[in-house]
Each structure stands twice: as C-alpha cells, then as structure tokens.
Structure 1
Amino acid sequence: MDFFKDTADFIAGSAANVHTHRPFLAIAASVALGLTLGSLWSAEKSHRTRTIASPLQSFQKPLSDKDKQSLVIPLDVLPGARDVSTPYGSIRVYEWGPEDGPKVLLVHGISTPCLSLGGLAHSLVDRGCRVLIFDLFGRGYSDAPADLPQDDRLFTTQILLALTSSPLSWTGASSGQFALVGYSLGGGIAAAFASHFPNLLSSLVLLAPSGLLRDSHISWQSRVLYAKGLIPEGVVSRLVKGRLKAGPLVKPKHSNGTSHDEKIGVEDALTEELTASPRQVLSRAYPSLTTPAAVAWQVENHQGFVPSFISSLRHGPVPQESQLENWKRLGSYLTQRREQKDTDNLPHDKVLIVLGETDNVIVKDDIVEDASAALEGNAQFKYFSIGHEFPSVKYDELAAQLVEFWN
C-alpha cells in the first residue's frame, strides 16, 4: 500500500535530517505514542464489550414510513426479514420462496451485506426454491461479537443459529436436506461447514471461494497490516476504514486471472466484490440499490463492520495453510460416499465450484489444481468469462446452472 511506502520515505528522510528536524520528530513521536495509547485503550474497551450493536439498535421503534424510506438499506430490502436473538448478538435473516421447494442457503462475502446475493436469491426463488440468506456478523443489520475471532468456528455456529430460526425444518430427518452455496469468504465458510456436517447437505456449491488462497499470493503489506500486534489496532482500523471508504480501485483484468507471481491484498478483494453492473438488480423492492452503496453505508453506520472485516481477514477461512485440513476431510468423505454406492457417481456427490476466468483474487488455475487434489477429484468446475463479481452480475444465468446441477 502507499501507506507503507510513504512511511518508509518519511523515516528515511527524517533520519537524514535528524539535526534539523528534531522538533518535528518530537511531535511525530508524540503522535505515535498517542496513537499507540489510544489503540491500547480501544483494545481494552473492546475486551469489556461483548457485542457491537448493528445500526438497528439505534433506530427508534416503530419506524415511520418516512424513516423507512430514508434508509440506505431498507428493512424490507429482501422478503421474509426477521431478527434472530442469539448469545453472539442479533442476526438479520431473510427467508422466502415456496415452503415445499428445494431448500437453498446462501452465504455472502467479506465486505458486503447479504444483499449482494439478492439477485441470485430472487432468481432461485423464481425457479421454485426456498431460499434462506443472512448477514454475516458485523455486516448489514447483524450485530458483531467483540470478544471472539471471526473464524470458521464462529461462522459455522452462525449458520446453525440462522437455520434453527426458520419456521421450517432445515436439518431434521424430514427436511430433505439443503443446498449450501457460498461466495468468496462465504465459500470458505461453506467448505468448512460442509467438512463437519456433510450429512445435512444435499449439495455444496462454491462460488469463487476463499479457503485455498496460496500463501505466495498474499502481499507482504497485507501480512503486516493484519498481523495482530505489529501495528497499533487504532492505526489499523483507521487505515482500513479509509481504504473501505475510498471504494473499489480500477484495475485491469488479466486474461486468465492473477498471474502466478502477482501478489494480492485487501484492495483486490474489495475491488472485486464491489464491481457493479447497470443491469444489476439485487433487490426487486428497491431496484436502484447497489453493492458499493451498501458497503459505503456499512462503513459509516455499522460500528462493528471494520472490526469484523479485519477479524475475518486475520482469522477467517481464507488462506490454504489454515483450511486445507477442512477441504481434505470433505474430500475423504465424498470419496467414501462414492465408493459405497453401487451406481455411478451422482452430481450432488461432487462439489460444484464456479469461477471467474479473469478473477484477480481467486486464481482459476490455482483453485482447479488445489481443489481437485484436496477433494480427491470430487469436484466439478464451471466458468464465467468475467471476474470475481459474477454472482452479483450474472445471477440469473448462475441460478439456471445451479438448478441444472441439482437436477
């Protein structure tokens, strides 16, 4: 990031002019000490706070029609809204579609609320599915646990909490199981969940999933920024918030995604998830809503968003080194399941992995190689000729492909 280069230049310049700039250095040292103490105070305060409330808690209830219309993310942005009280904070859940339709659970990415998959959810309901979608902790209208890392264990728990809030049975013997679809960070979450609860699922679909990101692709700037303790937490939060407020960068797409020697950082993940399209309709009730607008609203209005974003990058199911065991466990299960069958392998016995051919974050060639090996060949791949943003742009075409795969 430019921050690191600017800091290095400042330090080098200050060392060369130490005799002429002592007063300025003293001021800089005082500022640095203040930031450090402020960070320590913030960290101590966060330990005393178990939950960071979502913007819902600041609303006066009941809301007037005028207040509802003024919200950037309306409370009825998607059908079937409910707020679920849990020991980890409230979770915003949406569920709609035919009660007797095939059940589909969608899990969204790191920087967006679940609205980003609203187009896909609507398209699946159009095809007869019962869809459940929820805001991950610290996004949209879900609270954020302040005293727990946002790792695959916490997200697995959140999935189970969202499912048990349904008036329908999603996990019982008569439920018919459900299809789990995860996008980006949600793909890593879905793979981890499936590795522990495969019997609950009718199928697993991963859209440009995290979880197998090679260590060699992560930039050193991102390592430093998100390595807890290297930089005061207050400084990290300010830098990340400023970057999130700046919105997506404009970067050229590679014909085959990121090259093998290119490093990726938080800017790439942010840029890819926030790519919008003029034809994009995420909410049919509010068709003008876009993903960038929703993320910008989160940055300014959800006090738990930036901490959740940072925690998800630090602890979430992103790098290969922390998630390979989960993928291998799932692969072993699928192999055993296939070997116990007398008939040929059925489509839902394989994990469907859908990738963008010009994705700057999830490298197509890498994920095909690594996922095939970890899942012991129990994977099927499909591609879109665009980047990481395909689930929120090509949602109708994607829904058709998913239904075809399930059938």
Structure 2
Amino acid sequence: MNVTARDLKVLAIGAAATIGLTTILTSQYYGNLHQPCRIIDSPLPYIRKNLTKQEQDRLPYAPDTLDGARDVATPFGSIRVYEWGPEDGRKVLLVHGISTPCIALVGLAEELVAKGCRVTLFDLFGRGFSSTPDPDSQPQDIQLFTTQILLVLSSSPISWTGENNRFSLVGYSLGGGVAASFTSYFPNLVESLILIAPAGLMRPNHIHWTSRFLYGGFLPGKLVEYLIWRRLGGGSSSTPSRSNEDDGKITPTQAAAEETPSHPALTRDSSAAISTRRPSVSIADVVSWQLTHHAGFIPSFISSIQHAPVSNQHSSWKIIATNQSSPSPQQRLLEKKVLLLLGRDDNVIIADEISEDAKAVLGDAVDICILDGGHELPVTDADIVAQTIVSFWNQ
C-alpha cells in the first residue's frame, strides 16, 4: 500500500492530538490527586465571631461546657479536645458514638476524674466543634479515626505514649468499633480496653436491604443527605405515601425515606439528659443542633456508616485476643482481657448476640457485664458504668 504525503500529514496530526489529549488528561488526573482535601468548618468559628458569651452558654453544646478545652490545628482541620484530671492519674481516652459529640460522655469522664483519672475527650471529625475533611476525598474510615486519635494524643501537654507509658481506651458505640480496631494496630499504646455497646460485630441481618441500597452509592449523594437529615429530625416526620395501584411496591426513593430508621446506627431519639451539667439538654437536642449548624455532620455521618468499623471486624478483634498470649507485656492488656459493657434493653447492640459473638472471637480474653439500661447506658448511668470500669481495673 502506498502512503502519500497527505496520509502522513493526517497521521502526524492524529498522533499529536492523541499525545496532547493524553497529556492533558494525565495532568488533570495527577493534579486532582495532589489537590488538598477540602475542609468544612465546624460551627465554632461562627459562634466565636457572632454570638455573645450569654448566647453561647445557651447552646445545647456550648464551647465552654467542658474543662481543659483546646483546638488542635491539623491537615484535616481543627479538632476540639478536652483534657482534665490529675496529671499523675491513670490516663483514659474516651471515643464517642456516631451522632453525638463527646459531650455525651462528659458524665462518665467526670466520674472517672473523681476516681483519680486523667481523661481526654474529643469530637470526632464532623461532630461538635471539630472540622470535617471532605468525605468525598477522605472517607470516615479507621485510617482517618486512627490518625485523629494519634493527633489528639500528640497535642497533650503531658506524655500519653512512650516507654512504660500507656493509656486506657474507652469506646462507646461507633467509638467502640474504632477503639477495638485501634488497639489491634497499637497494642503497645493501650493498657486497658473498655467497649461500651460497641459497634464492630454488628450482625448483618440487623441492617435492612433498603438501608444497604441507601448507603450503597446507588442514589445521588445530596438525596441521601436529605433523607438522613430528615430522619434525624431536620424536617417533617412524614414519609412519602405509597400508591394504591402499585401492589404494595414502592420506589427506591420512597423505600429509602421509609427504611432509613432501620439502620441500627441511626438510633438517637432519646430524651436522656446529655450530662448533669446540662440537665435540660437531651441527646436529641444536640443532634438537632448539629443538623442545623454543622455543615459537615450529615456527610460525616453517612461516610461513617459506609466506611467505619461498624461490622465485620472479627479479624481485628481476633488480633486483640491473640496478643494476650504474647510474651511481650507491651503487647498485652494489663488485665489480659477486654471489658465489654452492654445494656440489657439495648435495641441497637443486642446484648445476647454481641456476647455470643465476642466470646467466639475473643475467647477467654473478654469479661462481659450486662447492666440495666439501653443504648444510652454511659449517658444515663455514668456512675454505674464508671464504677464497673474501676472494679475491672482493681480486680
């Protein structure tokens, strides 16, 4: 076949165009990889700039509610941290649940301080007064939460880590799943692990198929955010009506709206007081406040359900059990056991089920204590929970 000069010219133009397009696309791709993560501010900057001290004190979650406050600047945004108690006391880090900020655990923290502990609380990213690294580029997974814990510890005025320096880790609900996973990676940092109504081993049958559809990436993100916002109290409690002509079937949007409550992690409707300091403020009040004022809360909430260690964490828990037979004391918990605290009437983390599953994974490396109460156990019965923890330490 004869190739003319015109053919060669066309081929050259085509090759040049292909190379140019490839260069542009490659440049855009790698350029996007190196774009800094967008940070969504917490309500704190606005509150400080626009509200008087009296107005701030009337908020469900006021900036000065807890002792020892500090704001830690990080590449992921600011983290709100509270630390108080005797510097030579047992160091205890508490990790809260999926919907309320750390103020939910202030009662438990105060009880532990009264018993001689040094405590640290912090708001997970996207809750309370902590910023939100955009979940589209930084999912709310164990990598993010592990980094956040290490950033919190490194910001303390006293040492929480290092040679012969370990701390006790208390995780509640989602925080329990985070705490267990963190301990599996850093056994040399954690001397005692207490899990209160923890996520991590939640059985899949408790998550309805429509919730799997809702969080599975099948719906537009803004629609999912709206449905969750409404479910958590941001709008009308009414749901889309079903057609009488569809033989009981509903559209995916209707199913998502009606079945959003079926995901166990969404339980939060509680009139329980958030703490003895704020007896008139309930858990629901704080969640509603976040819905209105924290732009990063709903995206963080959804991302946590999708990516956080809520279920199928058996392998991480098994590592904890295996470490208890390690010849190195730095790999073992002081008690060589995890303390698992459960609420007898908890409809989210079912006591009988989690007891069975925890024993299957941890074997003899777990002490299980079932107390009267529901999922808000550390909020409503902080004194009993604290005493149970201290008794476990002293046994």
Q: What TM-score, normalized to structure 2?
A: 0.79
Alignment match of 1:316 (pick from 278, 290, 308): 308
Q: Does 1:299 align with 2:291?
A: yes
Give, as a single letter, the amino acid of the residue that structure 2 aligns with 1:148: Q
Change over 3 Å in CA distance of 1:191–1:92 after alignment to 2: same
2: CA distance between counterparts of 1:62 and 1:281? 25
Please state if 1:269 is matched with 2:265. Answer: yes
More divergent stretch after superposition (286-295 vs 54-63): 54-63
Structure 2 residue 262 is the aligned partner of structure 1 residue 282: no
Contact 2:201 2:310 (C-alpha < 8 Å) held by counterparts = yes
Contact 2:231 2:260 in 1 (8 A): no
Residue number in structure 2 paired with 1:159: 149
Give the SS at the match of 2:326.
helix
In the alignment, structure 1 residue 330 sits paired with structure 2 residue 354: no
Measure, in 1, the Cα distance between the counterparts of 2:169 and 2:350: 22
Shift in alpha-carbon separation, 1:246–1:166, aligned structure 2, 3 A:
same
Q: Report the 3-state secondary structure (helix = DSSP H, G, I; strand = E; otherwise coil) of the residue aligned with 1:380.
A: strand
In structure 2, what is the equivalent of residue 258 of structure 1? none
Pairing of 1:29-44 with structure 2 (within 5 A): none
Report the residue type matching 2:294 in the other structure: H
User: 1:389 and 1:70 mapped to 2: Cα distance?
Assistant: 23
**Pair 1:63–1:105, CA change in 2 (3 A):** same
Return closer, same or farther for 1:360/1:264 CA change in 2, 3 Å cut-off. farther
Q: Which amino acid aligns with 1:194?
A: T
Equivalents in 1 of 2:197, 2:298: separation in Å?
23
Give the Cα separation in 2 of the matches to 1:101 and 1:208.
26
Shift of residue 172, structure 1, vs aligned partner: 1.8
Q: Deviations over 1:251-270 (max 9, x none)?
A: xxxxxxxxxxxx99555433
Identity %: 51
Counterpart in 1 of 2:131?
A: 143
Distance 2:324 2:159 in 1: 25
Indicate conservation of the 8 Å contact 2:41/2:295, yes or no: yes
Contact 2:206/2:264 (CA < 8 Å) preserved in 1? Answer: no
Q: Give the paired residue count.
A: 335
| Distance (Å, rounded) in 1 between the aligned partners of 2:174 and 2:262 | 13
Aligned to 1:110: 98
Give 1:274 deviation, angstroms.
4.1
Q: Residues 267 and 326 (structure 1 numbering): CA distance in 2 closer, same or farther, change over 3 Å?
A: closer
The CA distance in 2 between the partners of 1:92 and 1:297, in whole Å, is 17
Q: Secondary structure at the match of 2:349?
A: coil
Deviation, structure 1 residue 275: 2.4
How far residue 276 of structure 1 moved from its aligned partner, in angstroms, is 3.4
Q: Which runs of 5+ in 1 are unaligned?
A: 1-43, 250-262
2 CA distance for matches of 1:62 and 1:218?
42
Question: 2:341–2:370: 8 Å Cα contact kept in structure 1?
Answer: yes
Whether the 8 Å contact between 2:208 and 2:263 is mirrored in structure 1 is no
**CA distance in structure 2 between the partners assigned to 1:101 and 1:62 by the alignment:** 38
Cα 1:266–1:300, aligned 2, differ >3 Å: closer, same or farther? farther
Residue 187 of structure 2 corresponds to 198
Q: Is the 8 A contact 1:115 1:283 kept in 2?
A: no
Q: Which residue of 2 aligns with 1:393?
A: 380
How big is the alpha-carbon RMSD for the aligned residues of Structure 1 and Structure 2?
2.4
Runs (4+) off by over 6 Å: none
Structure number with greater Rg is 2
CA distance in 1, matches of 2:271, 2:91: 28
Shift of 1:62: 8.7
Residue 77 of structure 2: SS of its match in structure 1?
coil
2:256 alignment counterpart: none
Change (3 A) 1:283 1:145: farther
Secondary structure (helix, strand or coil) at the match of 1:391 reads helix
Change (3 A) 1:98 1:62: farther
